């Protein structure tokens, strides 16, 4: 059984007429350590699919299991804990908290369990070192470049050693050189930890997509 199983997922949105079908039976399997890129034009449903995989939206029908768990069968508190512990997010906009330093931003996902432990703090320092920000650890987002902020966001996504790492246009706001570095970083850090993460990237960049084990086009609501 695959670590991530996506089976016939659909997503419809109500309109004044008939429902708008955004996803029409998306299915795929991925295992630990594997990566996939999803390509397609704006508005085709890529981000919607990623939000469903990240449990931020419910599918209209179909099922998702991660490590044999159906997250949508959990209670709301259980789903929130599952999302925090099992899923890491990297978005096009870094979404760092401006009042916090780099290391404090990386530690934000650990606060759901209470005060960050020394183990969490050590891991945050290690991740920031791996993304080349040892000397920027106490700097706030306004004191960092765009590429540095995205590297902090990548470290934050990995602080809880997630089973599933989701990246939505992670290089979309970066210049070409910085985009290459962040892409290298994502694929390197995906394998950082005892359990290798599954990584799914939504992107317009075929160059970035080629770094993944599999590349899919989202067309007419289906992966091809």
Average pLDDT over residues 1-30: 94
For residue 204, pLDDT beyond 70: yes
Mean pLDDT score across all residues of the chain = 91
Residue by residue, what is the 3-state secondary structure of 112-140?
Answer: HHCCCCHHHHHHHHHHHHHCCCHHHCCCC
Question: What is the topology classification, in CATH, of domain 4-220?
Answer: Rossmann fold (3.40.50)
Give the model's confidence band at 193: pLDDT under 50 very low, under 70 low, under 90 confident, else very high.
low
Give the model's confidence band at 114: pLDDT under 50 very low, under 70 low, under 90 confident, else very high.
confident
**What residue segments make up the domains of the chain, in order of their start?**
4-220
* 61-66 vs 222-223, strand pairing mode: unpaired
Q: Which of 193, 182, 100, 197 is nearest to 140 (CA)?
A: 100
Average pLDDT over residues 58-85: 96
Q: Which of 51, 67, 76 is nearest to 202 (CA)?
A: 51
């Amino acid at each position: 059984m695959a670590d991530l199983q996506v089976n016939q997922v659909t997503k419809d949105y109500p309109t004044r007429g008939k429902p708008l079908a955004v996803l029409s039976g998306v299915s795929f399997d991925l295992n630990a350590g594997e990566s996939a890129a999803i390509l397609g034009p704006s508005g085709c449903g890529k981000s919607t699919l990623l939000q469903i995989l990240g449990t931020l939206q419910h599918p209209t029908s179909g099922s998702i299991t991660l490590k044999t768990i159906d997250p949508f069968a959990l209670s709301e508190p259980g789903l929130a804990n599952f999302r925090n512990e099992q899923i890491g997010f990297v978005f096009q906009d870094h979404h760092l908290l401006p009042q916090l330093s780099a290391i404090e931003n990386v530690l934000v996902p650990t606060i759901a369990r209470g005060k960050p432990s020394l183990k969490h703090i050590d891991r945050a320092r290690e991740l920031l070192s791996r993304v080349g920000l040892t000397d920027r650890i106490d700097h706030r987002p306004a004191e960092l470049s765009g590429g540095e902020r995205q590297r902090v966001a990548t470290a934050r996504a990995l602080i809880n050693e997630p089973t599933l790492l989701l990246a939505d246009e992670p290089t979309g706001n970066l210049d070409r050189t910085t985009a290459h570095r962040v892409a290298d970083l994502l694929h390197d850090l995906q394998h950082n930890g005892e359990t290798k993460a599954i990584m799914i990237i939504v992107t317009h960049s075929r160059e970035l997509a080629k770094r993944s084990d599999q590349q899919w086009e989202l067309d007419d609501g289906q992966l091809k």
